[in-house]
Copies of this chain bind each other. A is one copy, B any other.
Amino acid sequence: MRKEEALKRLKEIDTEVLHLSHILGVLSWDQEVLPPKGVEGRGAQIGLLQRQVHALITSDELGEIIEALEGSELSPCEEAQVRHAKRDWERERKLDGDFVQLFSETTAKAYAAWVKARQEDDFKSYAPTLETIITLLQEKAEALDHTGEPYDPLLDLYEEGTTTAEVESLFSEMGLFLKEILDELGEDEVDDTFLYGKYPKENQEFFIREVLTNMGYDWERGLLGTATHPSTMTLGAHDIRITTRYEEVSVASPLFSAIHEGGHALYEMAASQGACQGSTLASGVSLGFHESQSRLWENMIGRSSGFWHHYFPRFKELFPLQLERVDEERFLKAINRVQASPIRVDADEVTYGLHIIARFELEKALLKGDLKVADLSGAWAEKMEKLLNIKVKSDRLGVLQDIHWSMGVFGYFPTYALGNLYAAQISAIMEDEIDLDYHLKRGELAPIREWLKREILNYGSLYKPKELLEKVTGSPLKSSHFKEYLTKKYLER
């Protein structure tokens, strides 16, 4: 095959994969309103498209294209495209189309089973579904790489190049200092009850839109909706939507969820117009990197004193009665309160990582067969007691709280905590160049956004995650930056 022809076909195939992934994004977005009896049909639709993607990225033709292009003179993005295509081709050729379709149909249907079980706090009804999924995950891990640690190939799907052993090492350091900080903080005396008052939804949304606009969210290329689970979805290169939820009791929850998702959306919005625009590379490089952006905006910016120095007066204007006796300092303490609680998504910055460690350990044990689904509820309670010193009162507040396993996703949770580590390491560098506090106090978010765009977001998936981190921060991933950040914020204040 001639180089020009091979390159043309590579791009055509990539474009088709891109469109299909966007269509899958639309199907996901719609999941929120899917009628109960539509679940099965939707599973079949998703299965069909997943199978098409699989067929495209594993075709014999693509194999020839890759062979024809390897070693050719190519632009950096083209080279990265060949590298990605080869990686996916080699990996996905190990799975057959029937398996891919079965896997995605099973998990699409499992979503409904999980929603129901969670609503009814009935883990038993859901256990057989979860068992099926874990069996499929075991098959998948075995097919992808039967030589080493079975968790490795699954983790690699979300965090390319990071091994289970590396995560274990980082998490063991992180687990130690998180518990140390937690112990040192002890019982807090923060009164955050005012966060749980009645805050009209319209004003909350008004404020959220103002913050997102200032962050640089492009309203012509997306929208803000509501959903059971806040998330960011890419339905097109110029259709990147975010959701939050208002039915939460605390006024902080919808706001920080929206800022978090806004961080993800800025990544997708910049990458899709960045170095490798128009290709599947024009997207976040890994889930850990993605989460670094959402966490950075949510916590390091959104929960900072500088941010609220500017925004608190605006916020108070919108909620004068609710915040009658609350000043900036008290507000800041409340939104940064550290307290172990059973729900991961409501966890503060300190305890969050411990929730992740629990899931990481449980996933590994389930995958190896060392832990059975029948014993999972008990094992969950034990982990929570050991790591967070809390008692789990129900499966609804325990093992049933997260959607991920129902989606057939193992190896995903660790990337949330890796995101915190990435974010701390990145912001340490950013702060060498930008006086964050200065800008935040003036309500200037553009310098932050532009720095992140220039240093990280624009590249999309041009580099490998580890290369990109080295390029930006000059060092491989360490846990120490996160430790320093938390120590400074929580122990030295």
* Interface of A toward B, CB cutoff 8 Å: 16, 19-20, 22-23, 26-27, 29-30, 33-38, 40-42, 44-45, 48-49, 218-223, 225, 235-239, 241
Contact = CB atoms under 8 A, between A and B. Distances in A.
A238 B218 CA distance: 35
A236 B22 contact: no
A35 B237 contact: no
Shortest 6 CB-CB distances between A and B: which pairs?
A41-B236, A38-B239, A37-B238, A38-B236, A37-B221, A37-B220
A239 B41 contact: yes
A236 B48 CA distance: 13
Contacts of A42: 236, 239
Given A29-B30, A30-B30, A238 B44 contact: no
A220 B16 contact: no
A467 to B, nearest CB: 29
Nearest to A42: B236
Given A23-B45, A26-B27, 4 more contacts: A30-B30, A37-B220, A38-B236, A41-B238
Contacts of A35: 219-223, 238-239, 241
Contacts of A20: 48
This chain's copy number in the assembly: 2
Contact of A19 (B16, B48, B241): B48
A6 to B, nearest CB: 22
A36 B222 CA distance: 8
Given A29-B30, A30-B29, A30-B30, A22 B45 contact: yes
Contacts of A40: 238
Contact of A23 (B23, B38, B219): B23
Contacts of A236: 38, 41-42, 45
Contacts of A33: 223, 225
A312 to B, nearest CB: 31
Contacts of A41: 19, 22, 235-239
A16 B239 contact: no
A12 to B, nearest CB: 11
Nearest to A15: B44
A42 B221 CA distance: 12
A219 B38 CA distance: 11
B30 A26 contact: yes
Given A238-B37, A238-B41, A49 B30 contact: no
Which has the most chain B C-beta neighbours within 10 Å: A22, A29, A241?
A: A22
A222 B19 CA distance: 27
Given A41-B239, A236-B42, A239-B41, A23 B36 contact: no
A341 B50 CA distance: 50
16 contacts: A19-B45, A22-B41, A23-B49, A26-B26, A26-B30, A33-B223, A35-B238, A36-B220, A37-B218, A37-B220, A38-B221, A41-B237, A41-B238, A41-B239, A42-B236, A45-B236
A279 to B, nearest CB: 14
Contacts of A219: 35
A38 B22 CA distance: 11
A49 B20 CA distance: 9
Interface centre among A20, A34, A36, A38 (most CB of B within 10 A): A38
A108 to B, nearest CB: 12
Contacts of A235: 30, 38, 41
A48 B16 contact: yes
A238 B16 contact: no
A49 to B, nearest CB: 7
Contacts of A220: 35-37
Contacts of A241: 35
A219 to B, nearest CB: 7
